[in-house]
Structure 1
Amino acid sequence: MSSMKSFKSGAGRATRRQFLRGMAVGAWVVPQVVAAAALGRGGLLAPSERITVGIIGRGLMGAGHVNRMAHDAQAQVLGVCDVDEARREEGCRLVNEAYAQARQQEKYMGCVAYRDYRELLARADLDAVIIATPDHWHALQAMDAARAGKDVYCEKPVSLTLAEGREIVRTVRRYGRVFQTGTQYRSIPVIRKICQFVRNGGLGRVKSVFTIWHPLGAFWGERIRPYAELAKWNELGRLQAPVAVDLPGQPVPAGLDWDLWVGPAPWQPYHPLYHVNPAPGVVPWSFHEDFGLASSTWFHSHAADVIQYALGVEESGPVEIHHPADGVFPTLTCRYANGVLVHHVEHYGQVKDLYKAVPPQAQLSGLFGGVFVGERGWITSMSSGGPIDGGPEEVMVELGLHTRQFQPGANNHHANWLECIRNRRQPSAHEEIGHRAAALGQLIIIAWKLGRSLKWDPVREEFIGDEMANRLRWKTYREPWQI
């Protein structure tokens, strides 16, 4: 199978909606009993006004998207796609049940299950897709969707390589699509207010930011134990970048198209550490460099987005990546052109002990953000670990938070995407922002793999005077897949 190089544009969409509107206008001729949902009552838009959506990938993240969109009055889920039959069939069943209940019908069968995402993209009545597949699929599927005339919501990181990310930006803009990156933490009201406070000078000049970057072993946990002797997991677990490791092939589970799961990546035989039902975690495959980006996949793309947003550099990147082997900083550190240093630590104790950047009593916990330290004080923007903290007290008073707690589900990230599909404006985490958030993690991984510091030109997007590092900006696709 090869990636389809061209699709018809979404021009057929207008014809579909005109047809549906015509049906609504003419319905009075023959009296009918029509569900309130079909007429736009009960909080639902009429079918002709809903944004039609397909969901590609239904792991743990994809399952969340299925549930979110199936209960959104602005959208209509037409299809769920997954290479795993059990996952796609279950996704469709849940969508159909949700719509049957909303329409007060005994049965609804409007959502279709797809194995191959290209069949979903070929639908003329499809407006947009949500991509929640493993990292190695993101760029190719996003670009195919854009070429097919579909708007895109793509999970983070949006690409596996620097070159892929730049090509996503070019393709999305060439075809005039609306692209939202799934870095929803920037859309949590409390986090957004912190970012705006820092961005507008609330801390004065920001000197440094601290965020987490874990070794592989911090993510593996117990699930790796049965295979610990196969590939020296104890040794590999100390590494900071994803690895290439050969795992012995096991029988492919019934209903799983493993060849399509691997897709454009170098061939690897099936192993349950990559994919298994029920899913053992959100991104179990991300330790392998052919499929994921380790810490960048786990949480760092979210942190990069929040940090670069707060610093006002979300469409740029660092100019230097300092490897700790050079002795300049004790942990891997990125320097931006404005002088801000972003230090990557294994745990927040290093912020206090190594850098002595915050008071000993500071509450530092959680992921998906960082600790900002400026001339006037410091503040945290991490989620999932505890309350927001900062000091001195006058800085927190000026910040004016109504609560120091956060609610990840209380974000408007999907709503912003749907609104922008209607008004054709750029969403809050558009393609360039998504690319730059992923790029920060990709730069860090290249520095870890080479074991040395690097100079980066964020405008030309190339390493300065380093041919070996520049060769790591892209990967070759497995035949016959291509961008």
Structure 2
Amino acid sequence: MLTRRTFLHSAAATAAAPLVISRPAGARAPSEKLTLGFIGIGAMGRGHLGDFLGRSEVEVVAVCDVVKERTENAQQAVEKRYADRTKSGTYKGVKTFGDFRELLALKGLDAVVIATPDHWHAIPSVLAARAGKHIYCEKPLTQNLADGRWLADEVKKAKVVFQTGSQQRSEFGGHFRKAVEYVWNGRIGQLKTIRIGVGGPAKPCDLKGEPKPEGTDWDFWLGPAPEREYSSVLCPKGVHGHFPDWRKYQEYAGGQLADMGAHHFDIAQWALGTDTSGPVEVVPPKDPKTGRGLRFVYANGVVMIHDAFEKGKDGKELRSDCVFEGTEGIILVSRGGIRSLPDTTLKDPIGEREKHVYPSTDHKKNWLECVRSGKETICPAETGHRSASICHLGNIGYRLGRTLKWDPVKETFIDDAAANKELAREPRPKWKI
């Protein structure tokens, strides 16, 4: 197994006297509401913030980001939303931070929502788990495979409730849920091939440096990633409404192969029943530079193919987010709907006595309910890690350009020291022991 790291400087955060959350007029008692802190409030984080502000069972008490304008903007949004609960029409109960460790030190904080870039998922999640905070973390779960194992182990040890933001398991009309149930119940016969329609792998960052804007802690944004000059492509100035392109670069993420792939490969893993496992072989195409056609081979013989599709009888590509091909039919499913070939495959609904997926129609609600009950969420840390691992393995396969044998139990490549070096990344000195 890969060596797990512990985190530097955490002592500085925990040694300081903890700040105390004060509950303004109109707020419910702690027994009635969960107090939330938000780590990362860019475009995705603001979306999550708006959603949770509409939920009466939670109280947002703190926000954190490396860009000052974003914390101020989020603070104003929360206070404006909660102001109508008070007789005076005002609300002042949201603390702002530039360092998430200070947020985690808040006394009375129950849980955190993490919506940072991928390279900043593992460390905040691990420290939140160690602090006993429940966690909702964006996907893909980590920037590299070793960090995913570290995170999953720490969450398990801390016994906190964790939800990976793989909301296709709960939402989007239930299309993915239905597809998985049809596969589980043999409606397409024996599953043979899965095709996942997402973009290409990550590439090294080649962006030019720019002057750093005031109010942005660029060094903190980089965190464990390699040092480089500021780029507004990676960390946009102020409050922005788009998804930044850090997703393209391997120093921070895994390209579209990991960004949307973390959603669609997650559904494939679910359908395969490999939520706590993975493939046994990674086979890149003859020309890895094309960034498509890589194959994942599973122990049961099922082959999952990245972004390569066959043509149907009408000559059109059988293209969708997830395509499940069996001995007796094909299911094509996306966020917009589900269909099959032949059409009769989906004619009969799944019966009460047949296999059904975990019941969930609201991903965030599922997390909150599990925090209350102590039950496991629909996409816990181990599951999120295993789905993200598919993305990491795919990126490694494209980079190395050769067939790789994978042990999903030990989570190492078999007899391949060079490939195993790709599983982890040495963080910058200030973020390691």
Q: Percent identity between the aligned chains?
A: 38
**Counterpart for residue 467 of structure 1:** 417
- Give, in angstroms, the shift of residue 5 of structure 1: 5.1
- In 2: Cα distance, 1:262 partner to 1:214 partner: 25
- Structure 1 residues 391, 145: CA separation in 2 closer, same or farther (over 3 Å shift)? same
Q: How many residues align?
A: 411
**Counterpart for residue 63 of structure 1:** 46
**Counterpart for residue 208 of structure 2:** 248
**Counterpart for residue 165 of structure 2:** 182
Structure 1 residue corresponding to 2:189, chosen from 200, 204, 208:
204
Gaps of 5+ in 1: 21-33, 39-44, 216-240, 402-409
**Counterpart for residue 287 of structure 1:** 248
- In 2: Cα distance, 1:387 partner to 1:345 partner: 19
- In 2: Cα distance, 1:6 partner to 1:425 partner: 33
* Conserved 8 A contact 1:56-1:129: yes
Q: Flag the structure with larger Rg.
A: 1
- In 1: Cα distance, 2:14 partner to 2:233 partner: 38
After TM superposition, list the pairs within 5 Å mapping 1:54-453 onto structure 2. Answer: 54-103=37-86, 105-188=88-171, 189-215=174-200, 241-277=201-237, 278-279=239-240, 281-325=242-286, 331-345=293-307, 350-352=309-311, 360=315, 364-365=319-320, 367=321, 370-383=322-335, 386-399=336-349, 411-453=361-403
Q: Does 1:4 align with 2:10?
A: yes
- In 2: Cα distance, 1:124 partner to 1:481 partner: 25
Which amino acid in the other structure matches residue 290 of structure 1? Answer: E
- Give, in angstroms, the shift of residue 2 of structure 1: 4.1
* Conserved 8 A contact 1:169-1:431: yes
Q: Secondary structure at the match of 1:472?
A: helix
- In 2: Cα distance, 1:361 partner to 1:451 partner: 29
Aligned residues: CA RMSD: 2.8
- Give, in angstroms, the shift of residue 197 of structure 1: 2.1
Moved more, 200-209 or 430-439: 200-209
* Conserved 8 A contact 2:332-2:339: yes
- Structure 1 residues 94, 467: CA separation in 2 closer, same or farther (over 3 Å shift)? same
- In 2: Cα distance, 1:247 partner to 1:363 partner: 36
1:351-390 CA-partner distances (Å, limit 9, x unpaired): 31xxx5x75467744x4xx01111221112211xx43221
1:7-65 CA-partner distances (Å, limit 9, x unpaired): 779xx9xx99xx99xxxxxxxxxxxxx97x54xxxxxx655310111010011110111
Q: Secondary structure at the match of 2:420?
A: helix
**Counterpart for residue 221 of structure 1:** none
Q: Secondary structure at the match of 1:381?
A: strand
Gaps of 5+ in 2: 1-6, 352-359
* Conserved 8 A contact 2:38-2:114: yes
- Give, in angstroms, the shift of residue 108 of structure 1: 0.6
Q: Secondary structure at the match of 2:37?
A: strand
Which amino acid in the other structure matches residue 383 of structure 2? Answer: I
Q: TM-score, length-normalised on structure 2?
A: 0.88
Q: Secondary structure at the match of 2:55?
A: coil
- Give, in angstroms, the shift of residue 245 of structure 1: 3.2
- Structure 1 residues 59, 326: CA separation in 2 closer, same or farther (over 3 Å shift)? closer
* Conserved 8 A contact 1:345-1:351: no
- In 2: Cα distance, 1:438 partner to 1:359 partner: 35
- In 1: Cα distance, 2:405 partner to 2:175 partner: 34
Runs of 4+ residues deviating >6 angstroms: 6-9
- Give, in angstroms, the shift of residue 258 of structure 1: 0.6
- Give, in angstroms, the shift of residue 98 of structure 1: 0.9
1:425-482 CA-partner distances (Å, limit 9, x unpaired): 1100001100001000000000100011111010111101111001111000101112
